[in-house]
Chains A and B, each alone.
Chain A
Amino acid sequence: MKSKLLKLKKEFQAELEGVVDLRSLVDLKNKFLSRKRGLLTVALKEISLLPVEERPEIGKLANKVKGFMEKELTLRQRKLEAEEEARRIKEAQIDITIPGRLPPMGGLHPIMLVKEKMEKIFLELGYTVEDGPDIETDYYNFVALNFPKDHPARDSQATFLIDEELLLRTQTSPVQVRVMEKREPPIRIIVPGRCFRRDWDITHTPNFFQMEGLVVDEGITLGDLKGTLEYFVRQLFGKKTKARFRPSFFPFTEPSADLDISCFHCGGKGCRLCKSSGWIEILGAGMVHPNVFKVVGYDPERYSGFAWGMGIDRVALILYQIEDARLFYENDLRFLQQFREII
């Protein structure tokens, strides 16, 4: 009996060696330990047939063999399970270099990205945003802004006409007058909006966007205009951007100025963007003309102010180095998909 048990153990050990998966492990377990026909179970039942004096020793041995088998089976099961788990994990391998599935992607038009960035700079300074009609009267678009009828200053603003009186605004400046008519100083506003001029070439489109700014209060100076716009260009084009003010002419401001910025592309050394001058003209500005104050009923002796206007499309052209303004209005997705928010 003893040798039989030891033989079973040996046999078990030998078969255990050959077990490579959980299924054959179960088979092995059943072969030796199945409650009915397991080889060891059968052998254990035979113990009761032995003489009484032999039973304790053989019984002890039998339990030891059983314990051995159960322990070995458990150990092997754990090992196999661990191997199985490892295999499963390995098999779950994916190609992480395949690009991800993007959620539906959309984006703002570059002109709006630039407009919102410009708005943000002035909103942070405490300006409010104002709006006005696209269809204007000759009075608000020109006369109130000190552009007399039959004056060559109107030449630069080829105008779309609707009838004798109504036209499409050529600038956002009429909103200056509309706001001042409604409100007393202090005033600090920006006016982004669509404007219209009869020009159509690589840098001009028959409609475009402008942003106007106006500050009116007691004691506003040309120095304030300079400081404000210098801050603006640093915020928009980068901290190192320098501003240069040159005398210019606009009927509704005096003194008037054009503002150039140092070329952010070449740093002022001269490149294609700045036409080798190192400077890029960015906007027109000036101190509000006393005639405009008179039109809206402000006392020019008491109040002074400054105003500026710039083409948002033009800023976008410069900022993104786009060479053809007409691209803005073609709305080709391959164009629109290139832009992202300006931080």
Chain B
Amino acid sequence: MTEMAQTDTAVRSMDAVAARLKSRYAAERRFRALGLGAILLSVAFLAILLGSIVQKGWTGFIQTQVAVAVTFDPQVIDPDGSRDPLALDTADYATLVRNGMAARLAPDADRNARRDLTGMVSTMATEQLRRMVVANPDIIGTTATVWVLASDKIDMVVKGQVPRQLGAAGNALNDRQLGWVAQLEQSGQVRTTFNTTFFTAGDSRAPEQAGIWGAVVGSFFSLAITLLVSFPLGVATAVYLEEFAPHNRWTDLIEVNINNLAAVPSVVFGLLGLAVFLNVFHLPRSSPLAGGLVLALICLPTIIIAGRAALKAVPPSIRQAAAGLGASPLQIVAHHVLPLAMPGMLTGTILGMARALGETAPLLMIGMVAFIVDIPKSPVDPSAVLPVQIYLWAGSPERAFVEKTSAAIMVLLLFLVSMNMVAIVLRKKFERRW
């Protein structure tokens, strides 16, 4: 009887153990499923984001051109036949483009029809003909087929970004212009090519002429200034705090402040930049110099924190060995600790720079969010940066800027991804484990 009772309790406790075990396994499975779900969800969001950007933006990398048989009419370009360079420079090339278009599409066009014709090609065409004539005045009097840039409205229709029906969403062409587009396409006088303008031009209010080169150069200058200022300062601060400074209340206070600074919203740094760099030091407004200095302030805490972590990771035995061989504290740091900590510091710096590359808010305050056409030649010229250019285009009413915005986002992402890649490669290559 007692034996029976004993086995019964044993069986029951075995059951209880099995049940608990089962519930623990179940809890683990749930936890794993949750984790996997979280990852899948974020991957899905990322895929949707990237997908929509690429889908909207890939056409930004191609542009539409129209073939125009241009007669370089001496009567229009150079009526007195002097071939004076100034006269060639300022001649009415718009008329040449219009005449060429009219000859092909509507020989007896009235004033309104000629206006519609003008709206088909970009104003860049005029500039293109001017350059051709100035470079080679001998073509005056001849006729040549020239591929000129189509206007943004034609561009949108040809690339299929807006439907072709008259009055359809986003279609700004009238029936006459739509007919001409069909006519040109049938005779093979419309082509799409790689959009070099996008990578060589500055900003423009005409979407087909707008490019990101000005913003890329601006970003380059800003980041160069940021690196020059924040890297030496950040490394020096980290080395001093970690290797030389005494541990007392003051250094604790400094450490807390640095950690706080890393979390300060970036627009606050912009206000600081406005008050100090612009109003006190009178640095030029909208310049990458002022922008780079503000971004350096944003980067500094990241670099210092990463730098200190890298220095802490160097084992004390290295320092002791160097000291044992008679090295001075400066020699210990400069010859042994710092080279070993450098990969970690570089990683932190690159991540900080990647953050700086994506900032717009602080630059708003110092006037970098502006319409700037000229490509900056030095860090004191006014210039935009990549994220600012994206922000400005996203706010432009013209439909064709939608694809330009997404295309610029892709370029910015490419830069960010490659910077992060460099950080990973550096870490993999130079990282040492003890």
Q: Do A and B come from one complex?
A: no
List A residues at the B interface (Cβ < 8 Å). Answer: none
